[in-house]
Amino acid sequence: MEKASAKDLLTRATGVVCRQGMVPFPLSDAAVGIIRIVAGSEQDELALICAFEAGASLTLDQLSAASGFDPDKAERLADALAKKGLVFNQPSSAGVKVFRLMPFMIVGLMEYLFMGELTGSDEEKELARLFEQMVGQLRAQTQENYEQMVPLFEKMKATDRTVPLQNTSSGKPVTLIPVDKGITVPDEVILPSQSVDEIIDKFDDIAVGYCFCRQRRKALGGSCSTDAPGLNCFTFGKSARYTSAQGFARKVSKTEARQIMAQAEDAGLVHKAFHPGSREERLETSICNCCKDCCDTMNLWRSGTTPLVNSTYHLAVVDTGGCTGCGTCEELCPTEAIRVTNNGTAEVDDMSCFGCGVCARFCPETAISLKQGLRRVFILPPRLR
């Protein structure tokens, strides 16, 4: 590739990354700036990114054919891009090494780049700034085309799945209300794990890194208003092998994983599990522990950028006889789904509650239970124009 075409190659490669994942981004100078920082002037690496125009996931033979590089070189370049958070390079369950181009987010480049401990470098600050600019451009696109976007939003799969907190702050189990007997659940539905303990038990490989949302805010000079702990972004299985191999996270034992999860629960954080392609019948790849202040998916929704689309098996239910109207639940709810009404008791908006259990954990009167039942929570972003 001639030097004269380097700019075009960078722009083309950026466009391929922009089209990946659940949240495609418009091609912009900010997006190009991020890829320029991450990939630098490595023309062969940019050319390999362009090869993923043939498909987001490619075997080595497919990647070699699409890029024009021999297999050895294609693999070396892909492994180099994996170190930069742009390519996933772990073998499939069948032992076949499949290379997947990462999106900018959910889950991809901007998460991996900020999972490690911050150095305070100018590069980190610039990456965080450029990403904020990208999000702002995406928000403008949504708001300018709101009516046209709604039908597309309604077809979106759940971004993540809420795994509820199951104990109160005093250590007692949160009361669970069984699913109504009259509700018929199809035989083919496989209920995913409903506790972090069950998820941890499934995996031999577990890795933990820093919360990328809180890290990016910190890089921009901000802080978490809830003062949430940072080291609690988990990956599992081959995702854990990937993040630890690239230096984005470190391997931990099941015991340490449980200890960190317990600290997250004490801080009132929400367990959000991710599955490949949002297919909940497949094993979890990761768990975020989210605060209402910094979480990307919640902030994208609140800021009018994308909808909140979540899968859950629980709904908060208030015992009005036991509720004193103290407002603890209203203060802590990450989606503003619960509020104290004029009659002095809390009330839940069923359409907005994603069953995280934070309200039930911290209710001083233990007046909140979790009703079981598979639900999809869908909340449109606010219209700001």
Domain containing 104 — which CATH number?
1.10.10.10
304 belongs to a structural domain: yes
Domain boundary among the residues 147, 167, 182 is at 147
CA 247 – CA 245 distance, rounded (Å): 6
Q: How many domains does the chain have?
A: 2
Mean of the per-residue pLDDT values of the chain: 94
In a domain, 199, yes or no: yes
- Say whether pLDDT at 44 is over 80: yes
In terms of domains, do 122 and 137 share one?
yes
Minimal CA–CA distance to 369: which of 197, 185, 165, 195? 165
Residue 317: pLDDT band by 50, 70, 90 thresholds? very high
Q: What is the pLDDT of residue 95?
A: 85
- pLDDT tens-digit readout, 86-135: 999 998 778 889 999 999 999 999 999 999 999 999 999 999 999 999 99
The answer to whether 164 touches 194, Cβ cutoff 8 Å, is: yes
Separation CA 80–CA 72 (nearest Å): 12
Kindly state the tokens that stand for 138.
């995406």
Is there a single domain that holds both residue 228 and residue 297? yes
108 and 78 fall within a common domain: yes
Same domain, 159 and 269: yes
Q: Identify the band that residue 363 occupies on the pLDDT scale cut at 50, 70 and 90.
A: very high
> Which of these, 98, 92, 81, 97, lies nearest to 17 by C-alpha position?
81
Query: Nearest CA to 275 among 160, 157, 194?
Result: 160
pLDDT per residue over 14-24, tens digit each? Answer: 999 999 999 99
Contact 286, 236 (CB under 8 A): yes
Same domain, 168 and 60: no
**Residues across the chain:** 385
Q: Say if residue 302 is in the same domain as residue 204.
A: yes
Do residues 153 and 103 share a domain?
no
Note whether 89 and 131 are same-domain residues.
Answer: yes
What is the band of 41 on the pLDDT scale with cuts at 50, 70, 90? Answer: confident
Verify that 7 and 84 share a domain, yes or no.
Answer: yes
Of 147, 176, 194, which closes a domain? 147
Residue 347 covered by a domain: yes
Q: Are 282 and 165 found together in one domain?
A: yes
Give tens-digit pLDDT for 48-58. Answer: 999 999 999 99
Is the predicted pLDDT of residue 213 greater than 70, yes or no?
Answer: yes
The answer to the question of residue 384 being in a domain is no
Same domain, 232 and 98: no
Q: With 60 as the cut, is the pLDDT of residue 1 above it?
A: no
Report how far residue 176's alpha carbon sits from residue 196's, in angstroms, rounded to the nearest whole number.
Answer: 16
Q: Which residue has the higher pLDDT, 131 or 41?
A: 131
**Are residues 77 and 89 both part of a single domain?**
yes
- Per-residue confidence at 367, pLDDT binned at 50, 70, 90? very high
Residue 111 within any structural domain of the chain: yes
The last residue of a domain, from among 147, 166, 196? 147
pLDDT score for 93? 76
Tell me the residue type at 19: R
Confidence grade of residue 190 (pLDDT, cut at 50, 70, 90): low
Q: Is residue 385 part of a domain?
A: no
Domain range spanning residue 139?
3-147
Element (H, E) at 377: strand 368-379
Residue 8 located in a structural domain: yes
